[in-house]
Chain A
Amino acid sequence: MGSYLVRRFFLMLLTLFGISVLVFVMLRLVPGNIADILFDAAGMIDVSEKGKLEHELGLDKPIVVQYLNWIGGLAHGDLGYSYVSEKPALDEIAPRIPITAKLAGLALAFSVLFGVPLGVISAVRQNTPLDYILRVVSLSGLSMPSFWLGLLILMAFVAYSGTLPIYTDPPIGFWETVWLYSVPAAAVGFRSSALVMRLTRSSMLEVLRQDYIRTARAKGASDRNVNYHHALRNALLPVVTVIGIEAAFLMGGLIVTETVFNIPGVARFLVEAIRWRDYPIVQNLVMFIAVVAVSVNFLIDLLYAVLDPRIRYAS
């Protein structure tokens, strides 16, 4: 186990290194850098002025030097400066993280609270009308773009109260936060809950076919006892993995949902930064997302070994 963890940890670092190179190079393939954009916007054409700006931003240095500067800075907690606001990138990114984290947490809670029980019901009542309805609903959840669901929710808001919810002021108090964020969180979480439901269902069905379930039934255990005590506990293992992966991959849904609801979180900030070619913000944000995703995967592997004693990682 120990040597497996060490190996796994080094592979994780290697992956992160690869992502940093990939993102850095991709961003520099863009035709036209920030200097071009600023110049177009200001209507300036003086080439020497542009050269000066590029020099100031370090864009005239070789790409390897630019990369090393970035990584070297990262090691010291220096993420560089935003090209647009000229503030330190860390100061721009850090305050937006809690907003997105709250949203992600609520969305994940939504997906588990709905996904797991509905998946169990669907499996236990396999091939009944209820099962069919739940399966179609979950499949439509996977088919709907979350930004459209968000827009529909906004529409319902307008029809019901005549106003749109506003997210610019930070909400005061715990319950106000929960209430305000639960609406966009539902828009994001619907998709994940559909995924969790489908997986819980098939995982439950798989377990319900096992011999030890038949044994439990033969011993005279009640349906309730068999379903929830014997089956669900074993069926939840793969579900835990998917919930973990979803936690890291909620980002996709958050990007569009934060845009729809105008929530000033990191996900919407990423899109804005990409549009502005604000490299320091984009590369640091993508790295941040990658670090979260890769660490979550690592933790899931660990959790798996704890939850399922049959799993032994060979080195």
Chain B
Amino acid sequence: MTIIDITPGPAAEIVRADTVWSKIRHHATSHPLGVIGAVIMLVFVCAAIFADLITSYSPTLTNSAISLLPPGHGHVLGADPMGRDIFSRIVYGARISLAVGIGSTVLGSVFGVVLGLASGYIGGWVDLIIQRIVDILQAVPLLVLALVMAASLGPALDNTIVAIAIPLIPYTARVIRSNTLALREQPFVEAARAVGMSEFRIAVRHVLPNTLAPLIVIATAQLGAAILTEASLSFLGLGVPEPHPSWGRMLSESAAEYVRVAPWLVIFPGLAISLAVFGTNLFGDALRDILDPRLRD
């Protein structure tokens, strides 16, 4: 008679060792660039949250005595033509950049998920109509659409968020739709239907959570794009209005005049934008490799 060993053995220990922290540690060591990205993002988030503690000058306080003051002299990064402290404006600018970046990404993702899920799960004429809307929104370059939206909504912080969110919708909708189409045919969906679950409940409780990984991946990528678009809109004077210290606005057209006399006005805000987006991109790349290797471009 053969004896079958059914004790769980070391497998149980492996499961216990596989905690959230060990997973993070494992991914962090295999994606060092992603860690750098996360650190950069964290720095900007901290700058945004603790802006009042980090800076000693108000970002909006003008002082004609120090107009165009070069870096140093008590103002680390110098002052702008109106005598406002550049360092303070950059630190407070992180709030605007993150607010617009995160705000428009979340807004765009919510609409994108709803449209993508409805399109992929319901199919038929709903799919047909939603796909035409997606086509329309995707046919115009992001910045052009955002420009027209921003102009028609008027210059304000919340309008800028909406103006950038709308052009982001089609990309999320496309990804969620294709994922939903694949998930719809899975046995677990059939099982849920067999036990009498409503279609809405299946879509929200079973299909939606399974699209989370690609959603996180695409949202991180869009965060960088949203920050860049805000900078471009504000640079063109159609984004976040004064007196908000927006990085893009700090570089607005007059910057071309200051290239000659006050290069620090040009260098530092641009560096802030590039670094913030660079961190997001590094982190996003690592996240994509970990969560959804199929999306690797």
Interface residues of A (CB under 8 A from B): 11, 14-16, 18-19, 22-23, 26-27, 29-31, 136, 139-140, 142-145, 147-148, 151-152, 154-155, 158, 164, 198-199, 202, 248-249, 251-252, 255-256, 259-260, 262, 270-271, 274-275, 277, 282, 286, 289-290, 293-294, 297
A23–B273 CB distance below 8 A = no
A202–B144 CB distance below 8 A = no
B235–A143 CB distance below 8 A = no
Per-residue contact bits, chain B 124-136, to A (CB 8 Å; 1 contact, 0 not): 0000000011011
B281–A26 CB distance below 8 A = no
User: Distance in Å from the Cβ of A87 to the closest Cβ of chain B?
Assistant: 22
B152–A26 CB distance below 8 A = yes
30 A-B interface contacts by CB (under 8 A): A11-B135, A15-B139, A18-B136, A22-B136, A29-B153, A30-B154, A31-B154, A139-B281, A140-B278, A143-B228, A144-B273, A144-B274, A145-B228, A145-B231, A145-B235, A147-B251, A148-B266, A151-B270, A152-B270, A155-B259, A248-B141, A255-B143, A255-B232, A255-B236, A260-B253, A275-B151, A275-B237, A275-B238, A277-B151, A293-B139
What is the CA–CA distance of A252 and B225 in the complex, to the nearest angstrom?
12
B152–A202 CB distance below 8 A = no
User: Distance in Å from the Cβ of A254 to the closest Cβ of chain B?
Assistant: 9
A sample of 17 more A-B contacts (CB under 8 A), given A151-B266, A255-B144, A271-B147, is: A19-B136, A30-B152, A139-B281, A144-B270, A145-B228, A145-B231, A145-B248, A151-B251, A154-B256, A154-B259, A155-B259, A155-B263, A202-B297, A252-B142, A259-B236, A271-B236, A293-B140
Kindly identify which residue among A15, A158, A251 contacts B260, using a CB–CB cutoff of 8 Å.
Answer: A158
A147–B259 CB distance below 8 A = no
A27–B148 CB distance below 8 A = yes
The residue among A15, A31, A148, A290 with the most chain B CB atoms within 10 A of its own CB is: A148
What is the CA–CA distance of A29 and B154 in the complex, to the nearest angstrom?
10
B259–A249 CB distance below 8 A = no
A262–B256 CB distance below 8 A = yes
Interface residues of B (CB under 8 A from A): 33, 132-133, 135-136, 139-144, 147-149, 151-154, 224, 228, 231-232, 235-238, 248, 251, 253, 255-256, 259-260, 263, 266-267, 270, 273-275, 277-278, 280-282, 285, 296-297
Contacts A154-B259, A199-B297, A274-B147 given; does A139 touch B154 at CB 8 Å: no
B285–A139 CB distance below 8 A = yes
What is the CA–CA distance of A248 and B273 in the complex, to the nearest angstrom?
25
Name the A residues within 8 Å of B274 (CB-CB): 140, 143-145, 148
Name the B residues within 8 Å of A202 (CB-CB): 296-297
What is the CA–CA distance of A277 and B154 in the complex, to the nearest angstrom?
12
B144–A251 CB distance below 8 A = yes
B149–A290 CB distance below 8 A = no
CB-nearest residue of chain A to B146:
A252
A147–B140 CB distance below 8 A = no
User: Distance in Å from the Cβ of B5 to the closest Cβ of chain A?
Assistant: 39
Name the A residues within 8 Å of B142 (CB-CB): 249, 252
Contacts A143-B224, A145-B270, A155-B266 given; does A286 touch B154 at CB 8 Å: no
Contacts A143-B278, A259-B236 given; does A151 touch B256 at CB 8 Å: yes
Kindly identify which residue among B132, B143, B152 contacts A15, using a CB–CB cutoff of 8 Å.
Answer: B132
User: Distance in Å from the Cβ of A66 to the closest Cβ of chain B?
Assistant: 15
What is the CA–CA distance of A275 and B152 in the complex, to the nearest angstrom?
10
User: Distance in Å from the Cβ of A256 to the closest Cβ of chain B?
Assistant: 5
What is the CA–CA distance of A99 and B58 in the complex, to the nearest angstrom?
43
CB-nearest residue of chain B to A132:
B33
User: Distance in Å from the Cβ of B214 to the closest Cβ of chain A?
Assistant: 17
Which 10 residue pairs spanning A and B have beta carbons closest together?
Answer: A252-B143, A148-B270, A18-B136, A143-B278, A143-B277, A26-B152, A251-B141, A15-B135, A249-B141, A274-B151
A147–B235 CB distance below 8 A = yes
CB-nearest residue of chain A to B135:
A15
Name the B residues within 8 Å of A290 (CB-CB): 139-140
The residue among B232, B237, B267, B285 with the most chain A CB atoms within 10 A of its own CB is: B232
Name the B residues within 8 Å of A147 (CB-CB): 232, 235, 251
What is the CA–CA distance of A219 and B30 in the complex, to the nearest angstrom?
35
What is the CA–CA distance of A160 and B281 in the complex, to the nearest angstrom?
33
The residue among B139, B255, B285 with the most chain A CB atoms within 10 A of its own CB is: B139
Name the B residues within 8 Å of A282 (CB-CB): 148
Kindly identify which residue among B143, B152, B251, B267 contacts A29, using a CB–CB cutoff of 8 Å.
Answer: B152
